[in-house]
């Protein structure tokens, strides 16, 4: 019989974590997203420190909350009219105890150091949950690729990589894409890295084109994985996705392939959105039309509604969470689903909410959903499919092979099943059955903490 660890925090453990929260806020001012991400993890760790006092001895939690390296640099570039612009580039290499830093690059006007630190901190635990030996990092720039020509995007990416390349390597730091960084941007970044280093180091970037080192299923992996995690949560409750209605926010890569996988598993995705508003389609989203509008034409969801016909209507502004559905999959950006949205979802009978984006649900909304008995999948577990297939891409690059689509999909399904089981069992072990937030945080923490202990105080 397995003995359950002590689940009540010792006073000294709780006091230490409370002091650390204050210290983090003092040392990292004006970074609310980073504070939010750290607090969410610290809120679940007191029982672990009580059960495993060795974690408290070498300042391990304090080291975990401080990035190993923070890089900020200038990115000058010229537009098509010859005007010079200056953006700011970032790379936060947060923790490499389990392997090389791994995490995407985000190009968006909202990017600042606090955003990148929040994303990098989340990435530590997400990557640990995959079991694939990758550390946590994140990067990006406040550059906005929207409305820029291919030539302008290329010049920006070349300038960005000219500085960043010195910090990268397949055994050091391996970026991928994120918001604003897709196949076009990865191509330009890789080309400049190759140009500068004179090395065909395919494993230095993931999300590459399938003809030059990319992996099958990489574009789909985050959305597919989140749907698989949602299905696993429903199965714990004796249900599946067949016949369920779904609301999905966003219309980028994650949202599109979330919709595609929902359709494949027999669900009916009703919505998509962008910054202008949302579309509700009573017949279910036509994923091929959405791909044409967003991926090929780079249009707006209003264009989808106009071309779809009578079944679809565009709602300017508004909240996608107003649409009644069985499951909700926030797939756009951080803190997009607030407490009032969660209350609306609960009133409308939502059964499960699973995060395709990074931290899209506010802490107040998470608490409300959990109190209402809604199955809640946190992003560090539910959207880990993207980085998992990135790690599989690194494996293929190392051996200079390309796996079949079927093999990659099988590996993705296995990894997401393992992540769900790990989170579910860890939550039960620490006296919080059904709490995937607690399960994900503790399981990821234990894997990283054990590696940090083994490697000494560095």
SS3 (DSSP) at 262: helix
CA distance 425 to 204: 34
CA 217, 221, 223, 228 dihedral sign is positive
CA distance 217 to 233: 23
Find tokens 């297939």 and name the residue: 389
State yes or no: 169 annotated in a binding site.
no
* Angle (CA) 378 356 31, round 5°: 70
State yes or no: 294 annotated in a binding site.
no
CA distance 222 to 389: 9
Q: Which residues in 171-202 are b (16+ Cβ under 10 Å) and which e?
A: eebbbbbbbbbbbebbbbbbebbbeeeeeebb
Q: Which residues in 71-91 are b (16+ Cβ under 10 Å) and which e?
A: bebebebeeeeeeeeebebbb
CA distance 379 to 341: 18
Q: Summarize the chain as % helix, strand, coil (round to 5).
A: 50, 15, 35
The pair of three-digit structure tokens given for residue 411, joined into one six-digit string:
């590996």
State yes or no: 253 annotated in a binding site.
yes
DSSP codes, 274-316: ETTEEEEETT---HHHHHIIIIIS---HHHHHHHH-TTEEEEE
Closest CA to 368 of 390, 343, 335, 396: 343
State yes or no: 222 annotated in a binding site.
yes
Catalytic residue annotation? 138
Does residue 400 contact residue 200 with C-beta atoms inside 8 Å? no
State yes or no: 126 annotated in a binding site.
yes
- Within 10 A of 235 (CB to CB), how many other CB atoms are there? 12
State yes or no: 123 annotated in a binding site.
yes
The pair of three-digit structure tokens given for residue 323, joined into one six-digit string:
């649409």
List the binding residues for NAD(+): 222, 253
List the binding residues: 102, 123, 126, 177, 222, 253, 390
List the binding residues for substrate: 102, 123, 126, 177, 390
């Amino acid at each position: 019989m397995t003995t359950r660890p002590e689940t009540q925090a010792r006073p000294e453990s709780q006091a230490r974590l409370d002091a650390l929260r204050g210290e983090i806020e003092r040392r990292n001012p004006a970074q609310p997203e980073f504070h939010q991400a750290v607090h969410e993890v610290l809120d679940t760790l007191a029982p672990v420190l009580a059960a495993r006092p060795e974690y408290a001895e070498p300042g391990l939690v304090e080291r975990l909350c401080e990035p190993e390296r923070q890089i900020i640099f200038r990115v000058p570039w010229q537009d098509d009219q010859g005007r010079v612009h200056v953006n700011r580039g970032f790379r936060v290499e947060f923790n490499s105890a389990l392997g090389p830093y791994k995490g995407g690059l985000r190009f968006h006007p909202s990017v600042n150091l606090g955003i990148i630190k929040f994303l990098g901190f989340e990435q530590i635990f997400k990557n640990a949950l995959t079991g694939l030996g990758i550390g946590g990092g994140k990067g990006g720039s406040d550059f906005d690729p929207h409305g820029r020509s291919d030539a302008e995007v290329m010049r920006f990416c070349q300038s960005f990589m000219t500085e960043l390349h010195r910090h990268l390597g397949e055994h050091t730091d391996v970026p991928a894409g994120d918001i604003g960084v897709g196949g076009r941007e990865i191509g330009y970044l890789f080309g400049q890295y190759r140009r500068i280093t004179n090395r065909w180091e395919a494993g230095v970037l993931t999300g590459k084109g399938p003809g030059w080192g990319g992996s099958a299923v990489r574009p789909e992996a985050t959305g597919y994985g989140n749907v698989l995690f949602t299905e696993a949560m429903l199965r714990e409750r004796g249900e599946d996705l067949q016949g369920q209605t779904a609301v999905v926010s966003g219309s980028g890569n994650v949202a599109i392939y979330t919709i595609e996988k929902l359709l494949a598993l027999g669900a009916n995705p009703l919505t998509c959105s962008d910054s202008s508003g949302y579309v509700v389609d009573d017949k279910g989203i036509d994923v091929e039309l959405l791909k044409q509008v967003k991926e090929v034409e780079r249009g707006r969801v209003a264009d989808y509604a106009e071309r779809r016909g009578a079944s679809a209507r565009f709602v300017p502004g508004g909240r996608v969470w107003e649409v009644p559905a069985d499951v909700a999959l926030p797939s756009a950006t951080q803190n997009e689903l607030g407490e009032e949205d969660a209350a609306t979802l609960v009133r409308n009978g939502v059964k499960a909410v699973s995060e395709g984006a990074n931290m899209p649900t506010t802490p107040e909304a998470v608490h409300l959903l959990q109190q209402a008995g809604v199955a809640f999948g946190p992003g560090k577990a539910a959207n880990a499919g993207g980085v998992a297939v990135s790690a599989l891409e690194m494996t293929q690059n190392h051996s200079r092979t390309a796996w079949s689509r079927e093999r990659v999909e099988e590996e993705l399904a296995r990894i997401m099943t393992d992540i769900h089981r790990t989170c579910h069992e860890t939550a039960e072990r620490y006296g919080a059955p059904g709490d995937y937030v607690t399960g994900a945080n503790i399981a990821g923490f234990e894997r990283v903490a054990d590696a940090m202990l083994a490697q000494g105080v560095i």
